[in-house]
Amino acid sequence: MLNQHDSLDLAFSALADRTRRSIVERLSRGEASVSELARPLAMSLPAVMQHLSLLESSGLVRSEKIGRVRTCSLDTAALGQAEQWIQQRRVEWDHRLDRLGDYLETLMNKGEDHGTKG
């Protein structure tokens, strides 16, 4: 079983590619067959299958084969982990920027105090 850091590494690695991001974007609107996913892409079906394989191994996409049709869908849990990690970084930076703003305001107030007493 992969730990959270490994699955985040795989998810971000998969999302680093423009083609895979476009596949994820398309799947965010609903499930689609491999041929539907391949249609707008300027590449061969085997190349699309390689991208889908990587997305599946990263946990971002699931697929199911019924008869001759392979249908893909997003695994929102894996996307949720990536979103949570990004949100945690955003919160940390918001706190840092708030502290910096408080510090700068303190410096400005000290400067005003020195300017009026002199």
- pTM recorded for the entire structure: 0.73
- Is 65 domain-assigned? yes
- Is 58 domain-assigned? yes
C-alpha 61: how far from chain center: 13
CATH number, residue 25: 1.10.10.10
- Is 56 domain-assigned? yes
- Is 85 domain-assigned? no
Residue 23 vs residues 5, 73, 94, 116: alpha-carbon distances, Å: 23, 10, 31, 62
- Is 36 domain-assigned? yes
- Is 92 domain-assigned? no
Residue 34's φ and ψ, nearest 5 degrees, are -60, -40
- Is 55 domain-assigned? yes
Domain region containing 18: 4-75
- Beta strands 69-74 and 32-33 are antiparallel
Q: Please list the pLDDT of the chain residue by residue as tens digits (118 residues).
A: 456 678 889 999 999 999 999 999 999 999 999 999 999 999 999 999 999 999 999 999 999 999 999 999 999 888 888 889 999 999 998 888 989 998 898 888 887 777 655 4
Residue 79 vs residues 12, 45, 53: alpha-carbon distances, Å: 10, 25, 16
Q: For helices 18-27 and 45-57, what crossing angle results, to 10°? A: 80
- Is 118 domain-assigned? no
Query: How many structural domains compose the chain?
Result: 1
